Amino acid sequence: MSRRADRCLSQKPRGECPGASPCGHSPDVREETAMHDHRKLGRELGLFDTDPLIGAGLPYWLPDGAAVRHTLEEYIRTAERRAGYRHVYSPVLGKRELYEISGHWSHYSDDMFPPMDLGGEQVVLRPSLCPHHAVIYRSRSHSYRELPLRMAELGGMYRSELSGVLGGLTRVRAIQLNDAHIFCTIDQVAEEAQAALEMIRQAYEALGISPTRYRLSLPGPGGKYVAAPEMWQRSTALLTEVLDRSGLPYEAAEGESAFYGPKIDVQVTDGAGRESTLSTVQVDFHQPEQFDLHYIGPDGAKHRPVMVHRSIIGSVERAVAHLIEQHGGAFPAWLAPTQLVILPISEAEMPNAAALAQRCTDLGLRAEIAGPEHGTLGARIRQARLVPYQAVIGAKEAADDHVALRLRDGRRLDPQPANDVLTRIGALVDAHSTDLWDSAAS
Q: Residues interacting with Zn ion, by CB under 5 A?
A: 8, 130, 309
Nearer to Zn ion, 177 or 404 (CB): 177
Shortest CB 260 distance to Zn ion, Å: 9
**Helix (H) or strand (E) segment spanning residue 118:** strand 116-118
CB atoms within 10 A of CB 159: 22
Per the CB < 8 A criterion, the answer to whether 418 and 359 are in contact is yes
Nearer to Zn ion, 308 or 336 (CB): 308
Nearer to Zn ion, 308 or 428 (CB): 308
Q: What residue type is 42 in one-letter code?
A: G
Strands (E) across 250-388 are located at 250-254, 263-269, 275-284, 295-296, 302-303, 306-311, 340-344, 367-369
Shortest CB 30 distance to Zn ion, Å: 39
CA distance 249 to 214: 7
Shortest CB 267 distance to Zn ion, Å: 19
Shortest CB 362 distance to Zn ion, Å: 40
Shortest CB 153 distance to Zn ion, Å: 10
Nearer to Zn ion, 130 or 422 (CB): 130
Q: In terms of C-beta density within 10 A (0-12 exposed, 13-18 middle, 19 or more buried), how is residue 299 classed?
A: exposed
Q: How far is CA 56 from CA 59, 113, 222, in A?
A: 8, 14, 32
Shortest CB 148 distance to Zn ion, Å: 15
Nearer to Zn ion, 263 or 309 (CB): 309
Nearer to Zn ion, 65 or 261 (CB): 261
Per the CB < 8 A criterion, the answer to whether 105 and 115 are in contact is no
Helices of type H across 286-374: 286-290, 316-327, 350-363
Q: In terms of C-beta density within 10 A (0-12 exposed, 13-18 middle, 19 or more buried), how is residue 106 classed?
A: middle
Nearer to Zn ion, 284 or 349 (CB): 284
Per the CB < 8 A criterion, the answer to whether 397 and 404 are in contact is yes
Shortest CB 15 distance to Zn ion, Å: 25
CB-based contacts of 184, cutoff 8 Å, min separation 6: 147, 148, 149, 192, 305, 306, 308
Shortest CB 8 distance to Zn ion, Å: 3
Nearer to Zn ion, 7 or 36 (CB): 7
CB atoms within 10 A of CB 430: 10
Closest CA to 412 of 420, 422, 404, 424: 404
